[in-house]
């Protein structure tokens, strides 16, 4: 199932840029705009994202909790390098 | 003025998505290397004790918050260069946002001083998010 969307008053420079992008991607302008709309529709809007952050605030990890995890994860190469040297 | 589009590291991505507290990037949109998806899943494993339902739910929220995940294979040479310059124990996968920022010429937003230092002199704009 699909619908048709007509958009009025699109700036000339926007149309030109979209046409350039479509050529670069090797698709028609309609197909390119369809892909852009599909991608946009799969994302949270800025307001939805802000609302989600508020919604998650109570259960979100604290900065300290995450920093401890991140530091350990960032430096996990230390042990791997040691064991590789031992094996060699 | 905040950049419209920026590359986020794991910390900035999780704050952007609301899973970790603290100031989020001021950008209007963020992009990430696709290699970070596995890192997000690893983080969610720890956070949710391997319970797949909450992991999938949080992962969906992250995926809906990121403008685009770029294929890491397309920046392999840049990532190799970054890895060779990085401190020897620094994990290469987590360095991939630095490589993406270099490759795309975009600002980097990070919660890591080490990644910021690695990006310094190679990325035009680096923002370290405060606590």
- Kindly report the number of other CB atoms within 10 A of residue A30's CB atom: 9
Which residues of chain B make contact with A84, given a CB cutoff of 8 A?
none
pLDDT higher than 70, residue A63: yes
Domain that holds residue B43: 5-128
Return the half-sphere exposure (C-beta side, CA atoms, 13 A cut-off) of residue A57.
9
Check: CB of residue B33 under 8 Å from CB of residue A75. no
Bridge partners (DSSP) of residue B126 are B108
Burial classification of residue B82, based on how many CB atoms lie within 10 Å of its CB (0-12 exposed, 13-18 middle, 19 or more buried): buried
pLDDT higher than 90, residue A76: no
Domain that holds residue A34: 1-43
Provide DSSP, chain A. -----------HHHHHHHHHHHHHHTS-HHHHHHHHHHHHHTSPPHHHHHHHHHHHTTTSBPHHHHHHHHHHHHTTHHHHHHHHHHH-
pLDDT in tens, B1-56: 456 999 999 999 999 999 999 999 999 999 999 999 999 999 999 999 999 999 99
Cβ contact A76–B20 (<8 Å): no
Specify the pLDDT at position A6: 93
Number of Cβ pairs < 8 A linking chain A and chain B: 78
Q: Could you give the percent of chain B with pLDDT greater than 90?
A: 92
pLDDT in tens, B74-101: 999 999 999 999 998 899 999 999 999 9
The CATH number assigned to the domain holding B98 equals 3.40.50.1010
Into how many domains does chain B fold? 1
Which residues of chain A make contact with B111, given a CB cutoff of 8 A?
66-67, 70
Which residues of chain B make contact with A51, given a CB cutoff of 8 A?
none
Specify the pTM.
0.89
Residue A9 lies in a domain: yes
ipTM of the complex: 0.92
- Kindly report the number of other CB atoms within 10 A of residue B17's CB atom: 26
Provide DSSP, chain B. ---SEEEE-HHHHHHHTTSB-SPPP-SSEEEEETHHHHHHHHHHHHHTTT-HHHHHHHHHHHHTT-SEEEPGGGGHHHHHHHHHHS-TTS-HHHHHHHHHHHHHT--EEES-HHHHHHHTTTSS-EEE---
Cβ contact B112–A74 (<8 Å): yes
Residue-averaged pLDDT of chain B: 95
Residue B58's alpha-carbon distances to A73, B51, B130, in angstroms, are 20, 11, 23
Into how many domains does chain A fold? 1
Separation CA A43–CA A17 (nearest Å): 22
């Amino acid at each position: 199932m699909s619908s048709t969307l007509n958009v009025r008053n699109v700036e000339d420079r926007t149309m030109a840029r979209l046409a350039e992008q479509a050529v670069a991607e090797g698709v028609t302008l309609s197909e390119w705009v369809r892909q852009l709309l599909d991608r946009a529709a799969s994302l949270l809007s800025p307001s939805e994202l802000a609302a989600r952050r508020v919604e998650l605030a109570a259960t979100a990890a604290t900065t300290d909790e995450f920093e401890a995890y991140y530091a350990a994860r960032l430096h996990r190469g230390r042990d791997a390098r040691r064991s590789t040297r031992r094996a060699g | 003025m905040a950049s419209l589009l920026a590359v986020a590291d794991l910390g900035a991505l999780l704050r952007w998505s609301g899973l970790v507290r603290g100031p989020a990037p001021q950008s209007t949109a963020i992009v990430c290397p696709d290699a970070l998806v596995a890192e997000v899943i690893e983080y969610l494993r720890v956070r949710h004790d391997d319970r797949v339902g909450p992991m999938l739910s949080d992962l969906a929220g992250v995926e809906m918050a990121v403008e685009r995940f770029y294929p890491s294979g397309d920046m392999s040479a840049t990532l190799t260069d970054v890895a060779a310059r990085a401190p020897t124990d620094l994990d290469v996968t987590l360095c991939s946002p630095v490589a993406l920022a270099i490759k795309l010429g975009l600002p980097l937003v990070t919660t890591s001083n080490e990644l910021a230092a690695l990006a310094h002199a190679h990325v035009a704009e680096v923002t370290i998010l405060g606590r």
